[in-house]
Amino acid sequence: MRQSTASPAEDTITAIDSSLMLKVFYAFAALALLSAVLSFGGKWFGRSIAMAGHTDDATLHEIVIGNNVISVPANAIRFERARRDGIAARLDLYLRWPDMEGYSETARDDFNNADGTKRILFLTFEESMMSRDMSGRFAPIYRSLIEQPGKPGPHGVTLYNFTEKSGYLNEVLAVAARAGQAPFVARCLTGPSAEESLAPCERDIQLGDNLSLTYRFPRELLADWPRLEASVTAKAARILKTGR
């Protein structure tokens, strides 16, 4: 009985078929892997776009400014590059009024100013460059730079225009008396600049060990300034530790 043997041509065809099938297999495997990577990457990238620089990560970070340590969650730190432990010259936070908490999914519209309602406070901690805070500067500095008389504002606030030579263009000074203390004092933008700003009013206070806290807030909160001041100082006291 004669045994059949494959011709050289048939061997070549078989080898080509095997090689081709192997290449097809690897091609499909690569496509499947690429599809998985793109799916994961798309979800991650889509989330990063939706977050728009925000984070809902509540991991605590300790930032050292001079002899002060500020312990604050990542979602309250305004800029991504600052969401780390270590030494810094300044720290910028943002918090939602009135709960005084950082970014979350439920608060997304407020942080993005989706409905035009201004509810975000901006806080900046840095070493103090002046011997007096804004309240302490009223009598020796601001009083000589404002026009008298002022105009009545909300909740006992008096609004003063600055003189033309003061250097404070398109701003007013908001002043409210406090029993046994220096007055509450803030500067607020006016006109188009105020309309475009999420927080057109600014006030600075001194705390900790030679630390200055500047906080900016919506002008509407002048009507609730005692609560605003108490909330900001209470929040600062909770997150701040000093070397003293």
Q: What is the pLDDT of residues 78-114, one digit of tens each?
A: 999 999 999 999 999 999 999 999 999 999 999 999 9
Structure tokens at 63: 């930032």
Find the mean pLDDT for residues 57-67: 97
Is the pTM of the predicted complex or chain greater than 0.85? no
Look at residue 31 and give its three-state secondary structure: helix
Pairing of strands 90-96, 120-127: antiparallel
Cβ 145 vs Cβ 160: under 8 Å: no
Lowest mean pLDDT among 32-36, 100-104, 168-172, 178-182: 32-36
Look at residue 10 and give its three-state secondary structure: helix
Residue 118: closest CA among 194, 42, 54: 194
Look at residue 7 and give its three-state secondary structure: coil
